[in-house]
Chain A
Amino acid sequence: MNQWLDERLHISRLNDKFLRKAFPVHHSFFLGEITLFSLIILILTGILLALAYEPSNSLVTNSFDPGTADKPNLIPAAYHSALKINAMPFGDMLRRIHHWTANIMVAAAVIHMMRIYFTGAFKKPREINWWIGMLLLIFTALTAVTGYVLPYDNYAYNTLKVIYGIAASVPWVGEWVAQAAFAGKFPGAGVIPRIYGYHIMLLPGILLALTGAHMLLMIKQKHTQPQYAKRIAYKKIVGVPLSTQQTPIMLLLAVMFAAIIVLFSAFIPVHPIEFFGPPSTTPINNIKPDWYLLWVFGALAIIPSFEVHLFGGLIGAEFVGAIVLPTVFLLAMFAVPMLDRSKDNMYYAENPTNHPVRLAAGVAFMASLIVMSVAGYKPELISSGILNTANANTVLWIALFLVPALSYFGVMGIVRGIRSLREADERERGAFSPADD
Chain B
Amino acid sequence: MTRYKRQDPEITRRKFINAAMGGTVAVGGISLLSTLGTANPVFRLTRDKMPPLKGDILVHAEESKEGQPIKVSDLSDQLVRAWPMGKGEDGSNVIRKGDPNNILALYRFPKGQLIAPTVLEATVDGEVVAYSDVCTHAGCSVSDSDQGDGMKCPCHSGQYDPKRGCIVTGGPPPRALAQLPIKVEGEGLVVADFFLAMPYPFIAEAEWETFKKEVEEQLA
Contact = CB atoms under 8 A, between A and B. Distances in A.
Contacts of B118: none
A283 B43 contact: no
Task: Sort chain B's interface into a size bin.
Answer: 35 or more
Nearest to A305: B174
Given A161-B100, A300-B156, A285 B41 contact: no
A316 B175 CA distance: 11
Interface string B39-61: 11101000001000000000001
A314 B100 contact: no
Given A162-B139, A165-B139, A379-B154, A314 B159 contact: no
A284 interface: yes
Nearest to A279: B100
B41 A382 contact: no
A177 to B, nearest CB: 9
Given A281-B61, A283-B142, A383-B146, A179 B43 contact: yes
B179 interface: no
Given A185-B43, A188-B41, A281 B103 contact: yes
B123 interface: no
Interface in B16-44: 36, 39-41, 43
A45 B140 CA distance: 32
Interface in A259-292: 280-287
A132 interface: no
A283 B138 contact: no
A16 interface: no
A190 B43 CA distance: 12
B155 A305 contact: no
Contacts of B203: 307, 314, 316
A36 interface: no
B168 to A, nearest CB: 7
Contacts of A180: 36, 39-40
Interface in A112-127: none
A318 B203 CA distance: 12
Contacts of A321: 172
B33 to A, nearest CB: 12
A358 interface: no
B141 A283 contact: yes
Contacts of B174: 305-307, 316-317
Interface residues of A, number: 49
B154 A286 contact: yes
A303 B41 CA distance: 34
B100 A285 contact: no
B116 to A, nearest CB: 21
A221 B4 CA distance: 49
Q: Residue among B40, B100, B141, B172 with the most chain A CB within 10 A?
A: B172
Given A161-B100, A281-B133, A301-B156, A317 B41 contact: no
B170 A389 contact: yes
Given A281-B141, A283-B142, A305-B173, A190 B41 contact: yes
Contact of B201 (A158, A168, A287, A303): A168
Contacts of A168: 201
Nearest to B147: A383
A68 to B, nearest CB: 13
A286 B155 CA distance: 7
A176 B137 CA distance: 19
A379 B41 CA distance: 38
B219 to A, nearest CB: 19
B177 to A, nearest CB: 13
A188 to B, nearest CB: 7
B63 interface: yes
Interface string A174-187: 00100111011111
A166 B62 CA distance: 27
B204 interface: yes
Contacts of B141: 158, 281-283
B88 interface: no
Contacts of A179: 40-41, 43
B129 to A, nearest CB: 18
A183 B41 contact: yes
Q: Residue among A281, A300, A305 with the most chain B CB within 10 A?
A: A281
Q: Residue among A179, A184, A189, A379 with the most chain B CB within 10 A?
A: A379
B93 to A, nearest CB: 14
Interface in A304-323: 304-307, 309, 312, 314, 316-318, 321
A166 B138 contact: yes
A317 B41 CA distance: 28
Interface in A125-169: 158, 161-162, 164-166, 168
B201 A162 contact: no
Interface in A173-215: 176, 179-181, 183-190
A281 B36 CA distance: 32
Contacts of A189: 41
A154 to B, nearest CB: 10
B157 interface: yes
A317 B38 CA distance: 31
5 contacts: A285-B154, A297-B156, A303-B172, A305-B175, A314-B203
Given A302-B172, A304-B172, A389-B170, 16 more contacts: A162-B138, A164-B139, A168-B201, A179-B40, A179-B41, A186-B100, A281-B133, A282-B62, A282-B63, A284-B154, A301-B157, A303-B172, A305-B175, A312-B204, A316-B203, A379-B157
Closest 7 CB pairs of A and B: A283-B141, A180-B40, A301-B156, A305-B174, A180-B39, A314-B203, A165-B139
Interface of A: 158, 161-162, 164-166, 168, 176, 179-181, 183-190, 280-287, 297, 300-307, 309, 312, 314, 316-318, 321, 378-379, 382-383, 389-390
